[in-house]
Amino acid sequence: MNGIINVKKEAGMTSHDVVFKLRKILQTKKIGHGGTLDPDVVGVLPIAVGKATRLVEYMQEEGKTYEGEITLGFSTTTEDASGEIVTETRLSEPLSEEVIDTAMQTFVGTIKQTPPMYSAVKVNGRKLYEYARAGEIIERPEREVTIDAFERTSPLFFQDGLLSFQFRVVCSKGTYIRTLSVDLGEKLGYASHMSALTRTSSAGMHLEDSLTLAEIAEKVAADDLSFLQPLELGIGDLKVLELTSEQEEEVRFGRFISLAVEDEQVAGFHEGKLIAILEKREAVYKPKKVFQ
């Protein structure tokens, strides 16, 4: 069984939980996911099965789209709605839409983020959430991420000193939307948190086409494997090159070939099928991963 599955991860499950359950449903061990989602977050979780697991690193590199809600007025330990309140800064009156929209635009581009304490980033061999659960706060390394779009998608809702609004963000791998929500609040002068989040696209897959684990289990029981999408969808942002029959044969034998490109890595196709991921070695390309 080889292919990619567009799973709709439900709230309360970790990405690892999804992989664990799918191994039972599909009766196969070779499964991996193409991008972690926090337990409270719903949405697209690309899953690689069989040979497709060798493409996970490329699936993770592709940009992602999220839709969610930000609430100004208090911050939490986890930067989302599941944490305990840390700081309260209730608003006496609502901000204007223009002020919020202008502040959001300042985050578009390449920015630096400090990962939240409740995250899986490793520091000195331990995950940050392990430090957080032990009550330890340590220095966290900054990371650069890219925000392609960050926009408000709803009117403002103001009640009891809290101001909420929905948003959409298109971003690179490694972006913490919780942290983006908190940083926006700081920019506006208020404590804030991410009050809801859904990942609507990842690795070229979209929420409207995703299936829950229950729906996948039903299809498997009916011997319907139509949910398995081809390996070719898992190449991420790699450039696609059509190989000649001669080049395809050379690649299958692991031989170096010459290509008229300069990219560090490319996806070599022949007649619509992914043949190999090719890696630049000086003036030629070496097969890094062969699939056919």
Report in angstroms the alpha-carbon separations of 16 from 37, 38, 79, 186, 281.
9, 10, 22, 33, 36
Residue length of the chain: 292
Tokens of 61: 């590199």
Task: Say if CB 49 and CB 228 are below 8 A apart.
Answer: yes
**Closest by CA position to 185, among listed 165, 155, 157, 160:** 165
Signed CA dihedral, 93, 192, 168, 9: sign only: negative
For 73-156, strand residue ranges (E) read 74-76, 85-88, 109-113, 122-123, 126-127, 143-152
| Residues in contact with 62: Cβ distance below 8 Å, sequence separation at least 6, in sequence order | 173, 202, 203, 204, 236, 237
Catalytic residue status for 209: no
Report in angstroms the alpha-carbon separations of 148 from 40, 67, 68, 101, 201.
24, 14, 16, 15, 14
Task: Say if CB 227 and CB 4 are below 8 A apart.
Answer: no
Rounded CA-CA distance 30/25 in Å is 12
Please pick, among 38, 209, 223, 224, the residue that the annotation labels catalytic. 38
Tokens of 60: 């993770």
Rounded to the nearest 5 percent, the helix, strand and coil shares of the chain are 25, 35, 35
Rounded CA-CA distance 46/211 in Å is 11
Q: Which residues are catalytically annotated?
A: 38
